[in-house]
Amino acid sequence: MKEKLLSEFSKRFQSEAVLYASAGRINLIGEHTDYNGGFVFPGAIDKCIMAAIGQNGTDKVRVYSIDIDDYAEFGLEEADAPSAQWARYIFGVCRETIKRGGVVKGFDAVFAGNVPLGAGLSSSAALESCFAFAMNDMFNDNKIDKFELARIGQSTEHNYCGVNCGIMDQFASVFGKKDCLMRLDCRSMEFEYFPFNPQGYTLVLVDSKVKHELVDSPYNKRRESCERVAKTLGVETLRDADMAMLDAAKDKVSEEDYNRAKYVIEEKDRVLAVCDALKRGDYDTVGECMYATHRGMSELYEVSCEELDFLNDIARKCGVTGSRIMGGGFGGCTINLVKNELHDEFIATAKKEFAAKYGHEPMVYDVIISDGAHKC
């Protein structure tokens, strides 16, 4: 990819280019915990966006996207927003950097990537983090701290792309480290690296390619349930609740709210259990927790769907160590911790059985936990 970027860059632009990259991410466990002040457990992966970037001495940005085969040129004022969606990510990063007092000057760039788009691996965070890191390195002597780089990406999604996301994706893309997952405390924003290099296992993403558009905004409803229960229990968020407290208040909350809160409380504890298990190298426990998360998301939080439950069942039938929905739910992919000797058979079975039932094969990606944003 490096050669392709540099040769395309020199074909189009006169300046000297530097290469930057940032990664997509997985989240091993910790789903719907972020807005409850709990933990998430992401890591950057070996699929990235890479850009060749050079200053051009003007006040204009000129960018070519190799994958989309599209070119955009824009200024750095608010009124200069480009219309192409892919370019808005880059424009947003520039604007959010400037809004925070950072410096951005004109530059030329060529970029490409291999993070599958819209598969739940956060290609958009990879794109934002790549350019945020580059702006910091090229124009700001790396004075902007890494959390701020993640927030620049997050604000880009909010303010320029209409996506009201949390911080996890950009955090993982910026802070990612080879063979390490990161437990992020979404209340304090403190985080810790945990070694994750499971010898004999592969992490496999199985993308169902289905996305159920639901009418009654289930995401907001889940949040409301959590807030209601927290209020009943007299805590700020469900992070501060445990099962004893919830059970003591069982007759004060609806059955549905009880189930939602039970999932969130158990999920918070599962993230901690997985971290402990990783310290012992106990991947069987990691896997059991992943299955338990899937069950909780399906039966208590009710954010699964038929296709994802089907993929989870296939994983179990094939003897896969751990499997669960990754992401918010209602479609997208499962993340699977698979013993290497079962890998090929699991993938073949998942593709065949899913296609027989739903008419199309899922997409499958093996991922390795890798470095986040960096200069190449």
User: Would you tell me which residues interact with ligand ADP (CB under 6 A)?
Assistant: 49, 65, 67-68, 85-86, 89, 112-113, 115, 117-118, 120-124, 127
Q: Which does 340 bind (CB under 5 to 8 A by kind): Mg ion, ligand ADP, none?
A: none
Which residues pair with residue 322 across a beta bridge?
Answer: 337
Q: Which does 22 bind (CB under 5 to 8 A by kind): Mg ion, ligand ADP, none?
A: none
Q: Which is nearer to ligand ADP, 169 or 257 (CB)?
A: 169
Q: Which is nearer to ligand ADP, 58 or 85 (CB)?
A: 85
Q: Which is nearer to ligand ADP, 28 or 241 (CB)?
A: 28
- Cα 194 to Cα 175, 280, 327: the distances in Å are 13, 11, 21
Q: Which is nearer to ligand ADP, 121 or 264 (CB)?
A: 121
Alpha carbons 76 and 91: distance in angstroms, whole number: 7
The site for Mg ion, by CB under 5 A, has a size of 1
Residue 163 φ then ψ, to 5°: -115, 120
> Please, which of residues 97-126 interact with Mg ion by CB under 5 A?
124
- Helix axes of 168-175 and 146-160: crossing angle, nearest 10 degrees: 140
| Residue 169 a catalytic site member | yes
Question: Which of 34, 108, 169, 207 is flagged as catalytic?
Answer: 169
Q: Which two tokens stand for residue 161?
A: 């792309």
Q: How far is the CB of 329 from Mg ion (least distance, A)?
A: 16
Alpha carbons 139 and 252: distance in angstroms, whole number: 56
Contact between 23 and 126 (Cβ < 8 Å): yes
Q: How far is the CB of 256 from ligand ADP (least distance, A)?
A: 29
Q: How far is the CB of 169 from Mg ion (least distance, A)?
A: 6
Q: How far is the CB of 173 from ligand ADP (least distance, A)?
A: 10
The amino acid at residue 241 is A
Number of H helices, E strands in the chain: 11, 13
Contact between 40 and 7 (Cβ < 8 Å): no
Which residues are annotated as catalytic? 169
